[in-house]
Every structure is written in structure tokens, then in C-alpha cells.
Amino acid sequence: AQSVTQLDSQVPVFEEAPVELRCNYSSSVSVYLFWYVQYPNQGLQLLLKYLSGSTLVKGINGFEAEFNKSQTSFHLRKPSVHISDTAEYFCAVNRWGGSNYKLTFGKGTLLTVNP
Amino acid sequence: GAGVSQSPSNKVTEKGKDVELRCDPISGHTALYWYRQRLGQGLEFLIYFQGNSAPDKSGLPSDRFSAERTGESVSTLTIQRTQQEDSAVYLCASSPLAGAGELFFGEGSRLTVL
């Protein structure tokens, strides 16, 4: 079985500050990793994904994440946040092969960007 | 629009009543998922449909929950004899490719059981 732990339920930051949202996963096999964002009163949309290759993945809106296999982490970063980045962010994992369609999500991190 | 459409967006019901939630996936997407999002919790997998294959119902929390999908089109999630703990946002997503594919989510159906 696989699991995802998002270490911070809420992260308040000031506008233009850097931010890191932490995600750790547990799986006995190789995985695909995702970050989704949910803006207020909207559905989830994909920010970025790691399938294979380069461990540094760039996504939309200036976000990036780094896959670290030894630490089983996939932390999300942005060097300078905007008010419009206020949203809930979900990390998700999907294992390779077999019944690999079942995305397992973390509990989410609420990012609040203050002026 | 071309996105995943869910209805109703909000539903308030009394305990013990049945409810039906509907999802219209993106045309051409063979995979369809239902997730439940409770307040302060992550997304809980409920059920997965892939084409004409038998659905994976392993996430349904009880036999009061059921879902159907006609071919590669509309899906309905039915909750019978609703309980207060069923209150949640029910999210539908579709994907053109199971596994590594991106999931496209609807805006959800918020269910409140009084």
C-alpha cells in the first residue's frame, strides 16, 4: 500500500516570500508523484507531475518540485508567492504497474498568502 | 464547456433520504473516478471506471453507496439512507489514460445531511 504525508496543514506567508510545501510518501515500489492545487470553490487542477527522468520538475504558475528517492520526498517550492497563490495544495502518489490507477492523496496544505 | 461537469453543486438532505449525484466526464476520457473530500481531510478514493472493464469499487465505504457508468459517458453516485457522516464534497474526475495520466476534476457536489 502507498501513503502520502503532508507535514503542514497550514502555511501562512507574506507576498513575495519563498515557500516550501512538504510532502513525503511511502511505497514499496516505484511511483509517480503529483501536486494538485484547489482554488476556493473550484475543482482540483494539476500543478506538476514526476513520472521519470530529471528529479526537478517545473509546473504552472512558477512552481517546481524535486523528487528525492532516498528521502521519499516530493516538496513543492516557489521562490516568490503572490496573493493569487492562496489555495489548498495536495500531494498525490500513484504506483507503477498493476492497479496503478488509484491516486492516493495527502490531506492537503492550505497556503495563505498575506499582503 | 469542455470540462468535467457535476450536478447538483449543492445538496441538502435529511438523514435517511437517498441522494443521487451526477458526473459528466470530458468527452473521450475512458477513465472516471469518484473521490470524497471531508472537511480537513484528503481525498478518499471511492470507485474507478475504465471503459467496459469491471469497476474497482474497493473504496466504497458501505453498501449504501453505489455507482454506475454507462459506457464512457455519464456516471451517477447513489447514496441510500444517508447519514450525517456522509456529509462531504464528492469529486468526480476523468482521465484519457489510467495510471500516469492527469486527472481532470469537476468542481464537486457538496452534500449536507441534516
Q: What is the CATH number of the domain that holds A10?
A: 2.60.40.10
- Looking at the structure, give the CATH architecture of the domain made up of residues B17-95: Sandwich (2.60)
pLDDT band at A31 (very low <50, low <70, confident <90, very high): confident
- Report how far residue B44's alpha carbon sits from residue A103's, in angstroms, rounded to the nearest whole number: 9
Question: Does position B65 have pLDDT exceeding 80, yes or no?
Answer: yes
Point out the least confidently predicted range of A8-12, A27-31, A66-70, A82-86. A27-31
* Whether residue B61 has pLDDT greater than 80: yes
- Split into its structural domains, chain A has a count of 1
Select the residue from A38, A101, A104, A110 to test the B interface by mutation, using most B Cβ atoms within 10 A.
Answer: A101
How high is the pLDDT of residue A100?
A: 60
Residue A95: all three cell numbers together: 504506483
- Supply the range of the domain harboring residue A32: 3-114
> B100 contacts in A (CB within 8 Å)?
32, 49, 51, 94, 100
Q: Assign B79 to helix, strand or coil.
A: strand
CA distance B42 to chain A (A): 4
Query: What share of chain B in percent tops pLDDT 90?
Result: 69
pLDDT above 80 for B101:
no
CB contact under 8 A, A106 and B42: yes
Domain extents in chain B = 17-95
Does residue A52 register a pLDDT over 90? Answer: no
